[in-house]
């Protein structure tokens, strides 16, 4: 059965300072409910909206990065529907004259690269936030916080060209990376990106799943919905067009209402806002476009000789890519990339930390210092990992941690003495080696590693053990 998926991605332009149509501050996270509000975002009678020029510029920046065709003139419209989180009884959005048409995002699939085409990009205001005691299906009442009402939103609508939940998640991951490179969006903030997913299976009607708040949730909701719809079709049941809600606690979708049509919203031009001529901003915004992730990936490969695999991972996070380049100025780029991608990234993820500035993290200068000790043979690979973990969990400089934990490598003369001691005190292992059991050398290496508490270089130790054993043989 053919699965067809289209996404409507609602992105907060939350790097701005104020809301879309008023001067209320955007830093509402963690604040008391209904304290970042005014007559405009509360929709009080007589309150007049004024467009935030910086929000328009940020929106154009996104449209340019997504290769969309920007409308010469865009207009705001009233989208009429009644819901508790919308105090005006309508949402200021865009209909037939949106910010932009078309565009695309490229994703990796099992069959190679796929270009996910976009249908449109438009601006609108965020509604307030509803909170339920329990779930939406069991709560007896809901509470409303209007702090979010009026936050600038971009709705990025894909064509129905996705064919699996994995492809949908890949699109969202890539879209988030692009938005963070543009510095218009902080994806770590609650509610920063929300998704409405439309899904149909050949032979059935289109179902919309509303307000999914996480990428993992999108994948789970779509997976469940595919199974539900296939089961209905197998039983000869008809799949009705409807709007459903994803219950994250139970990983199921539940029916909310029949699917709305465009005419149900009774769009008409917003009479309090004039059309906006976008050409006044496009050239100015073009000059501010940063190096995009695919451009940075190609440059890292060309400039530093990195593999495609390493470069792709580094550009997943602009902060990680910048961190790498600072380290690569002083340490061999391939060595730097290996430690950052294969070790440091994993340790940060394990602790739910990032490459952003913060307390108790390993700065680029500290990693340069640490890798310097490693490349000079003064600390082992195991010791480097131990220092990284200590830096993320404790206080102290790199050198203090190395000295406190006794991680500086043992001198070669001492290693040689301990290797001879291992051979002298373990004649059975020597006998086994002479009898052709070459793995017996590993036992002797283990003896030395134990005596040095892991401070000896395993490779060098193994090499010296074998040299001494061959002399005896």
**Of residues 331 and 139, which shows the higher confidence score?**
331
Instruction: Report the percent of the chain where pLDDT is more than 70.
Output: 97
pLDDT for 437 equals 83
Mean pLDDT value across residues 366-374: 95
Measured distance CA(227)–CA(140) in Å, rounded: 30
- The pairs formed by 287-296 with CB atoms below 8 angstroms and a separation of 24 or more are 288/61, 289/61, 289/64, 289/65, 289/182, 290/181, 290/182, 290/183, 291/181, 292/65, 292/178, 292/181, 293/177, 293/178, 293/181, 293/318, 294/106, 296/321
In the predicted structure, residue 32 carries a pLDDT above the cut 80: yes
Q: What confidence tier does 133 reach under pLDDT thresholds 50, 70, 90?
A: confident
Cα-flanking dihedrals φ and ψ of residue 306, to 5°?
Answer: -80, 160
Give percent above pLDDT 90 in the chain: 66
Residue bearing tokens 């074998």: 466
**Residue-level pLDDT at 271:** 95
Mean pLDDT, rounded, for 128-154? 87
Is a pLDDT exceeding 90 seen at residue 357? Answer: no
Q: Tell me the longest C-alpha to C-alpha distance in the chain.
A: 98
Confidence of residue 265 (pLDDT cuts 50, 70, 90): confident
Query: Residues 70-81: what's their mean pLDDT?
Result: 96
pLDDT in tens, 181-219: 999 999 988 889 999 999 999 867 889 999 898 999 999
Higher pLDDT, 453 or 121: 121
pLDDT tens track for 433-456: 888 787 888 888 888 888 877 777
Chain segment 380-400, per-residue pLDDT in tens: 898 999 999 999 998 789 999
pLDDT band at 80 (very low <50, low <70, confident <90, very high): very high
How many Å apart are CA 143 and CA 33, to the nearest integer? 10
Which tops the pLDDT comparison, 462 or 473?
Answer: 462
Quick one: pLDDT at residue 180?
94
Q: How many CB atoms lie within 10 A of CB 92?
A: 21
pLDDT at 289 over 90: yes
308 has a pLDDT exceeding 90: yes
pLDDT in the model for residue 67: 96
Is pLDDT above 60 for 359? no
Pairing of strands 242-247, 207-212: parallel
Is the pLDDT at 138 greater than 80? The verdict is no
pLDDT of residue 358: 63
312 has pLDDT over 80: yes
d(CA 355, CA 322): 9
Q: CA-to-CA distance for 19 and 370, rounded, in angstroms? A: 45
pLDDT, mean over the chain: 91
Report the distance separating Cα 162 and Cα 61, nearest Å. 25
In terms of Cβ atoms closer than 10 Å to its own Cβ (0-12, 13-18, 19+), residue 191 is middle
Least confident of 8-12, 94-98, 248-252, 290-294: 248-252
């Amino acid at each position: 059965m053919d699965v067809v998926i289209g996404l409507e991605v609602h992105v907060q332009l939350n790097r701005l300072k104020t809301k879309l149509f008023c001067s209320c501050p955007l830093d509402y996270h963690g604040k008391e409910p209904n304290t970042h509000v005014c007559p405009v975002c509360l929709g009080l009678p007589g309150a007049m909206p004024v467009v935030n020029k910086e929000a328009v510029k940020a929106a154009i920046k996104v449209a340019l990065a997504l290769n969309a065709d920007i409308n010469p003139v865009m207009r705001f419209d009233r989208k009429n529907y009644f819901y508790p989180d919308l105090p005006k009884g309508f949402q200021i959005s865009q209909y037939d004259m949106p910010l932009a048409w078309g565009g695309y995002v490229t994703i990796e699939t099992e069959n190679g690269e796929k270009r996910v085409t976009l249908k449109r990009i438009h601006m609108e205001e965020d509604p307030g936030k509803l909170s339920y005691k329990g779930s939406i299906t069991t709560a007896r009442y809901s509470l409303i916080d209007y702090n979010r009402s009026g936050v600038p939103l971009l709705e990025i609508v894909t064509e129905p060209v996705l064919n699996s939940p994995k492809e949908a998640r890949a699109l969202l991951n890539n879209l988030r990376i692009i938005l963070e490179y543009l510095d218009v969006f902080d994806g770590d903030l609650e509610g920063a990106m929300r998704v409405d997913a439309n899904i149909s299976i050949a032979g059935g009607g289109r179902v919309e799943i509303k307000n999914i708040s996480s990428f993992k949730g999108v994948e789970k909701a779509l997976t469940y919905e595919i199974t539900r719809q296939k089961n209905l079709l197998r039983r000869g049941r008809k799949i009705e067009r409807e709007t459903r809600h994803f219950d994250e606690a139970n990983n199921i979708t539940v029916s909310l209402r029949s699917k709305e049509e465009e005419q149900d919203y009774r769009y008409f031009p917003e009479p309090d806002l004039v059309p906006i001529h976008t050409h006044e901003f496009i050239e100015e915004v073009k000059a501010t476009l940063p190096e995009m992730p695919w451009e940075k990936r190609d440059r890292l490969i060309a400039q530093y000789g990195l593999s495609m695999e390493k470069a792709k991972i580094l550009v997943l996070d602009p902060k990680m890519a910048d961190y790498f380049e600072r380290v690569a100025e002083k340490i061999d780029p391939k060595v730097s990339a290996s430690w950052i991608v294969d070790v440091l990234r994993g340790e940060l993820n394990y602790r739910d930390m990032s490459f952003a500035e913060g307390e108790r993290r390993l700065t680029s200068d500290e990693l340069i210092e640490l890798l310097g000790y490693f490349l000079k043979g003064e600390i082992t690979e195991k010791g480097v990992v131990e220092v990284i973990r200590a830096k993320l969990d404790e206080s102290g400089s790199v050198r203090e941690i190395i000295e406190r934990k006794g991680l500086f490598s043992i001198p070669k003369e001492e290693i040689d003495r301990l290797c001879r001691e291992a051979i002298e005190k373990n004649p059975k292992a020597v006998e086994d080696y002479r009898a052709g059991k070459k793995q017996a050398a590993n036992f002797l290496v283990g003896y030395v590693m134990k005596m040095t508490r892991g401070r000896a270089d395993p490779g060098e130790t193994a090499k010296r053990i074998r040299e001494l054993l061959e002399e005896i043989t």
